[in-house]
Amino acid sequence: MRTPSTMLACLVMLTACSSGTAGTNVEQDAKATLELWTRTTPGGPGEQGTLRLAAAFEKATGHKVKVTAIFDDFETKMQQRAAQKDLPDIVMNDVAQLGTMQSQGLLREIDLTKLAGAENVSERALASGKGVDGKQYGVPYSAQATALLIRKDWREKLGLKPPQSWAELAALAKAFTEKDPDGNGQNDTYGLAAPLSTKRGYASWYFSNFLWAGGGDFVADAGGGKYKPAMSTPESVAAAQWFRDLACKDKVIQPGAVTMDTPPTNETFESGKTGMYVVGPYLMPRYDKSLGKDKYEVVPMPQGAKNADVLAEGGAIYLMAGSPNNAGQDAFASYAISAEGQKVGMEGDTAYIVQLPVNKTVDIGQVRPDPRWKTYADVYQSSGHYPPSIPNWTPVRQAAADTVNALVADCGLDLKGELQKLDTKLAGILAEQGVAAS
């Protein structure tokens, strides 16, 4: 019996194929206007940055582009267009959406030999655009990784150094919690900001920075496009225990973390309630204005039990199936990853759509002289860790978030037992998606 989600996937697959997957059986018109959808808030800085990139592309190539920004119900609207056999030509969306979009038949395979300058894109970024079958379905145009934000004024007041290990990170978090770093005489500060809500899987999204550094994983690559659950391995258990102790034993994570997603967590660092935050570069403009650049610093995450791996994310360009203008699609992707396109995407204080350049010839220090951006770029290249492009990462992230949240919310739960239960759930999810190792 087909589930509604299975039927929807079949519908989209059929629709995409009948539209001409990979552009076959569709009459081509290299002068056709390209319809571009970007998953961002209409009227916001993301739309402004995309419009600027599209305008520069039009000027450079002569291809016309119509930009549509959609945030609410993006996936639903995409399915509606698929059912109408009228997908947009290009979609700019998170790299994490590759598996879902590819498994539904929405994307055409990308021939990198047809993209000018593809050889200049970093191998790490290009790998994030590959599906489980090893084929290229996305062209990353922006990358980011997390680093550690620290209240520098608090740290210096207490005479401490930036942490170089997990032990030093825990010690600094404890000092920020217990030694009144803001000097107001009250016990009202905490060491680490952490969004641990189950909403949209935030708890596991944040915890991934610690899981991977501890040598653990949500699911392990078993080769051949197959995966196996990995949350109850010794490395994953140890990483989960260490992270849980920050909340349950050391009590250095802000109260109410298990109900917080990113907006209220962002505010705890901004308002002086928390002294450290593991986060991407996108909050720097905000904190520079609200806190002041002199009040906080950006440093690489300290070495974990096994390595210094942190969460890598970014945006990708998807060339949609059934387009009547494959040449225009390729031209846009080529421009977006070119040195010129990357610099256009990085322009502005807030309305930029390229966090870190994926083009190896672009020196971020020349475009953004602020050395903190260089810190983020170095972390990405040395330690950035993308989630795997399985057909649908969302249920894995959500199941893991539910467990991480529960373990922090109830310090009496059997940690290893809960992680074993989680692995059972993950095994079912992988099997349902056809990527479970035998």
Domain that residue 80 falls in: 4-144+312-385
> Would 34 be classed as within a structural domain?
yes
Parts of the chain with a pLDDT under 70? 1-24
At 3 the pLDDT is: 37
Contact 310, 384 (CB under 8 A): yes
- Please give the Cα distance from 143 to 31 (Å, whole number): 31
> Would 437 be classed as within a structural domain?
no
**Whether residue 205 is found in the same domain as residue 284:** yes
At 24 the pLDDT is: 53
Q: Is 225 left (phi over 0), alpha (psi -120 to 50) or beta?
A: left
- Please give the Cα distance from 113 to 435 (Å, whole number): 29
**Whether residue 317 is found in the same domain as residue 304:** no
Kindly list the distances between the CA atom of residue 75 and the CA atoms of 82, 100, 132, 177, 397, in Å, as whole numbers in the listed order: 10, 10, 21, 42, 18
At 350 the pLDDT is: 85
Number of domains composing the chain: 2
Tell how strand 276-279 and strand 65-70 pair up.
unpaired
Contact 420, 232 (CB under 8 A): yes
**Whether residue 191 is found in the same domain as residue 47:** no
- Please give the Cα distance from 227 to 236 (Å, whole number): 16
Residue 378 belongs to domain with CATH number: 3.40.190.10
**Whether residue 110 is found in the same domain as residue 152:** no
**Whether residue 72 is found in the same domain as residue 118:** yes
**Whether residue 132 is found in the same domain as residue 151:** no
Query: How many other C-beta atoms lie within 10 A of the C-beta of residue 222?
Result: 15
User: Most distant CA pair in the chain: distance in Å?
Assistant: 73
Question: Residue 311 burial (CB < 10 Å; 0-12/13-18/19+)?
Answer: buried
Identify the residue whose tokens are 């206007």: 33
Tell how strand 384-385 and strand 226-229 pair up.
unpaired
Q: Please report the DSSP string for 278-335 in residue order.
A: EE-GGGHHHHHHHT-GGGEEEEPPPB-SS---EEEEEEEEEEBTT-S-HHHHHHHHHH
Identify the residue whose tokens are 């002294």: 275
**Whether residue 327 is found in the same domain as residue 229:** no
Contact 82, 16 (CB under 8 A): yes
**Whether residue 260 is found in the same domain as residue 406:** yes
> Would 438 be classed as within a structural domain?
no
**Whether residue 357 is found in the same domain as residue 398:** no
At 136 the pLDDT is: 98
CB within 8 A of 422, min separation 6: which ones?
229, 231, 232, 399, 400, 403
Q: Tell how far CA 359 is from the center of its chain.
A: 18
> Would 326 be classed as within a structural domain?
yes
- Please give the Cα distance from 152 to 323 (Å, whole number): 51
Segment 212-223, tens digit of pLDDT: 999 999 999 999
**Whether residue 256 is found in the same domain as residue 177:** yes
- Please give the Cα distance from 152 to 283 (Å, whole number): 16
Here the tokens at position 361 are: 């010839």
**Whether residue 305 is found in the same domain as residue 319:** no
Segment 334-349, tens digit of pLDDT: 999 999 999 999 998 8
Segment 161-197, tens digit of pLDDT: 999 999 999 999 999 999 999 999 999 999 999 999 9
Contact 162, 371 (CB under 8 A): no
At 348 the pLDDT is: 87
pTM of the model: 0.92
